[in-house]
Amino acid sequence: MNGPGVGEGCVAAWEVAEYDLEGTLEGGQAFGWERLGDGWEGVVAGRWVWVGRDGARVEARTALPVGDWDWIEGYLGVREDLAGMLATFPDDEPLRQAMASCRGLRLLRQDAWEALACFLCSATKQVVQIREMVRLMRERHGKEVPGPAGRVVRAFPTAERLASLDEGALRACKLGFRAPNLLMAARAVAEGRLELGELRRLPLDEARARLMGLRGVGRKVADCVLLFGLGFERAFPVDVWVRKALARLYFPRARRLTARRIERFSETHFGPHAGLAQQYLFHHARTRLGRAWGRGGARGEE
DNA sequence: ATCCAGGACCACT
DNA sequence: AGTGGTCATGGA
């Protein structure tokens, strides 16, 4: 291990059979983790935290004393039975490939507002560009959080804070045409017209419909928020990579694949942990298969 | 230079 | 229900 000094902070570690920290923290489901030493630093539940490895264990360090570790255990999912979830996947070749190439990949349980804001900004952007937008919003508008050794970092800005800005301030964070959408979403949440926490108790379809009532939130962004921020494990976001993966791996002979057909397949084929399966397909496609596929692979031509 | 990126929306069919 | 244009911005 080679992390930051703990100072007056605390250290905790968990025995975890398989956990791919890099694929999970940098793989396009969260956008705020930065490399530090042999691990990553970020802000979770309003606390600075460093996450890395200690041999076979996943380790977390805080800058300040903490009374419990539930907030980061839940975020990382270090107590969850990954093998048990993978065992619920359908036994098919595409998933066998994806599981073999992404061993230890997991789903994070993120803050719902942060997930909504980040994925609202994700439209037609690469992961590195989303990270840059998020970094700018954090640096310019995020609340200060005490870091290690006297450093100060910033949390992702609250809905209340973003709702107080004007469109220009968000465009200055490189949001482009997404700026007015994020501003309206921030206002809806800040004014209590949309209570994200309440959505957890709704059926998937109803929670999705509520999210899609926001301008700029379509099916894909809604499913990201449901899966990464609200704990709906069957939500299955279909972006360009997942569409390519499904087309190439499951429908190699289809000449055309409508969104409706993809949707029905994803809802029925993958089981209770469909969202996790989606993340395996996404990561596998983006990191291993992307270059070989070249352009236009969504239609399954050979 | 051209295409494309963890899309959504609108106007037409 | 399915297509095409448009919206910013920057990677590859």
Q: Of A203, A229, A255, which residue is a domain's last? A: A229
Domain endpoint, select from A212, A229, A246: A229
Q: Are residues A119 and A224 in the same domain?
A: yes
Instruction: Output the pLDDT for position A279.
Output: 98
Model pLDDT for residues A174-208, shown as the tens digit of each residue: 999 999 999 999 999 999 999 999 999 999 999 99
Which residues of chain A fall short of a pLDDT of 50?
295-302
Q: Protein A130 CA to nucleic acid C3 C1', in Å?
A: 28
**Consecutive H or E run containing A68:** none
- pLDDT, residue A255, reads 84
Helices (H), chain A: 21-26, 70-76, 82-86, 93-101, 112-120, 127-141, 159-163, 167-171, 179-190, 196-199, 204-212, 219-224, 240-250, 259-269, 274-284, 290-293
Q: Which nucleotides of B are covered by protein (CB under 7 A)?
A: 3-9
A53 and A119 belong to one structural domain: no
Q: Check residue A274 and give its pLDDT.
A: 98
Which of A24, A86, A17 shows the shortest CA–CA distance to A283? A24
Q: What is the CATH number of the domain that holds A40?
A: 3.30.310.40
Nucleotide nearest to A223 (CA to C1'): B6
Asked whether residue A51 falls in the same domain as residue A151, the answer is no
* pLDDT score of A111: 98
- The integer distance in angstroms from the CA atom of A84 to the C1' atom of C8 is 43
Q: How high is the pLDDT of residue A256?
A: 86
Q: Look up the domain containing A7 and give its range.
A: 1-80
What CATH code is carried by the domain that includes residue A133?
A: 1.10.340.30
Rounded, the Å distance between the CA of A132 and C1' of C12 is 17
* A1 in any annotated domain: yes
Residues A214 and A116 in one domain: yes
What is the count of structural domains for chain A? 2
User: How many CB atoms are closer than 10 A to CB A249?
Assistant: 19
In a domain, A276, yes or no: no
Q: How far apart are CA A228 and CA A139, in angstroms?
A: 23
User: What is the C-alpha end-to-end distance of chain A, expressed in Å?
Assistant: 46
pLDDT of residue A289: 83
End-of-domain residue from the set A184, A199, A229: A229
Same domain, A53 and A9: yes
pLDDT of residue A1: 54
